Amino acid sequence: MASSSRLPEVTNPAKQAPAVPAPLLHPAVAAYLARHDGLADRLPGHRHAWVAALRRRAAEAFAHQGFPTRRNEAWHYTDLRALTETRFDEPLVAVDRPVMLPDGIADAGAPRLVFLDGRFRPDLSDLEALPEGVRVESLGALLEAGDERVRTRLGALARLDASAFVALNAMLAEDGAVITVTAKPEAGARLHIVSAGSASGERPVAFHPRHLIRLAEGAGLTLFDSALGEGATAYLNNTVSEITLEPGARMTHVRLQAEAPASFHVSTVFAEVAERAEYDSFALATGARLARNEVHATLAGPKAAAHLNGAQLGDGARHVDTTTVITHAAPDCASRQTFKSVLAGRARAVFQGKIHVHQAAQKTDGYQMNQALLLSPEAEIDAKPQLEIYADDVKCSHGATVGELDADQLFYLRSRGLPLAEARAVLIEAFLADALEAVRDEAFRAALSEATAAWWARAHAEAGA
């Protein structure tokens, strides 16, 4: 029966008409759609009708939305023109050189999955010590096999209308990590996903990894998720992660974005947190020319919790954007957010944090704090907290501060012999300390500290130049 029902589904979408007619489309949108049409019979799983249909629906959604402009409220502070004016190719040629991981990242001491330019590279990965109760698969391979489990999971949380980048990702995703965890939290399961942009060719490339992560009831995982890159060629890393935490599951998500200086990084995370489950994330951003970290966390069952903490460090003319949407959809849930920005040079940061409390979500406890440290008169932050509350018995608060380094503290440190740069570094580190302390995994925290120090060395060198 299975074979007979599948037969009619095996069609070649490449033979069909292009997904959308092209007039009036932004050239960048048209170019991506053309890419979809051109690659339709090469993308993994194209022989399976549901995979092809999903991509077509994504193409339609992408064409319909187009890239957001500043008139779009969610993108008002982030101008995407530099991204939409860059023509990206697919990373069709496999890169055959080893990936050099920075110290700290290489030493994180966890089983490692490496994606190079968005493609899983078993040869670079180290999954020998994968703990029991943690299953890791390649999305590309599962799509190719037409795996039904992926069919139900792909796009279940990341709806195509969520953003143009989600639709773009669904349209062109080739690979990603599919992680399924049944291990109990006491087992201390750790895993490391590395996404490396090689920027190896002369032409910019774009890749669209899609990660699907599911923790079964009562399961636990600490995931270190790092996006790195080198080289001077632009690339676009447009990652979408869908994270499902079943009742009582606990996930710690430690994220590092240290992409190459000419790159674009857009990451959209969807986390659905069931009853009594807990999603605890820390995101550090130190790289990319333009970066957007967008997190949608939904507290879907009673007593669920989400902690979204992080820091974004800007230097030069970089633009870093953190946008969070926490939806309290059930009673007795708690959400905590502390985000810090440190900005040097002409860097610009955005923090938009929305807490949306449904009518059913009584006894909600929501907290959001956004603090910025401006190291230069030309640095800038735009902060927009948003509370949307439909329940009447809730506790929600938010706050924002913007400041400079304290002159008295700097003088005190210098009077004890610390050179100015070192004194500034001490105070920046102190500013970030209480946020970083939330990362309990020592090896992962150390990797973040190293990334912070590397950022400061760069920012300071730029300021001195």
Query: Would you say 132 or 408 has its CB closer to other proteins?
Result: 408
In whole angstroms, give the CA distance from residue 62 to residue 79.
18
Asked if residue 456 binds other proteins (CB under 8 A), the reply is: no
Query: Would you say 134 or 427 has its CB closer to other proteins?
Result: 427
H-state helical runs in 130-280: 139-144, 148-153, 164-172
Question: Residue 451 Cβ, how far from other proteins at the closest point, in Å?
Answer: 18
Buried b (16+ CB within 10 A) or exposed e, 398-432: bebeeeebeeeebeebeeeeeeeeebbbebbeebb
Contact 32, 168 (CB under 8 A): yes
Asked if residue 409 binds other proteins (CB under 8 A), the reply is: yes
From 187-195, 364-372, 396-404, 418-426, give the range in contact with other proteins by CB under 8 A. Answer: 418-426
How many residues touch other proteins under the rule CB under 8 A: the total is 23
Question: Residue 433 Cβ, how far from other proteins at the closest point, in Å?
Answer: 4
Report long-range pairs for 150-156 (Cβ below 8 Å, ≥24 apart): 150/178, 150/212, 151/50, 153/178, 153/212, 153/214, 153/242, 153/244, 154/54, 154/210, 154/212, 154/242, 155/54, 155/242, 156/242, 156/244
- Which residue, among 253, 267, 256, has the nearest Cα to 450 in the 3D structure? 256
Asked if residue 442 binds other proteins (CB under 8 A), the reply is: no
Question: Residue 417 Cβ, how far from other proteins at the closest point, in Å?
Answer: 4
Asked if residue 450 binds other proteins (CB under 8 A), the reply is: no
Q: Of these, 39, 124, 418, 463, which contacts other proteins (CB under 8 A)?
A: 418
Beta strands in 344-405 (DSSP E): 348-357, 364-374, 380-389, 394-403
Assigned token pair, 264: 């674009």
Asked if residue 423 binds other proteins (CB under 8 A), the reply is: yes
Query: Would you say 10 or 430 has its CB closer to other proteins?
Result: 430
Q: Of these, 407, 442, 464, 465, which contacts other proteins (CB under 8 A)?
A: 407
Question: Residue 217 Cβ, how far from other proteins at the closest point, in Å?
Answer: 39
CA trace torsion 444, 449, 455, 460 (10° rounding): -170
From 35-43, 266-274, 360-368, 413-421, give the range in contact with other proteins by CB under 8 A. Answer: 413-421
Taking CB under 8 A as the rule, which mask of x and - marks residues 357-396 in contact with other proteins? ----------------------------------------
Sequence-separated (6 or more) residues with CB below 8 Å from residue 50: 9, 146, 151
Query: Would you say 86 or 409 has its CB closer to other proteins?
Result: 409
Q: Of these, 127, 420, 457, 461, which contacts other proteins (CB under 8 A)?
A: 420
Question: Residue 437 Cβ, how far from other proteins at the closest point, in Å?
Answer: 9
- Which residue, among 294, 292, 293, 253, has the nearest Cα to 273 in the 3D structure? 253
Asked if residue 434 binds other proteins (CB under 8 A), the reply is: yes
By the criterion CB under 8 A, which residues form the site for other proteins?
407-409, 411-420, 422-423, 426-427, 429-434
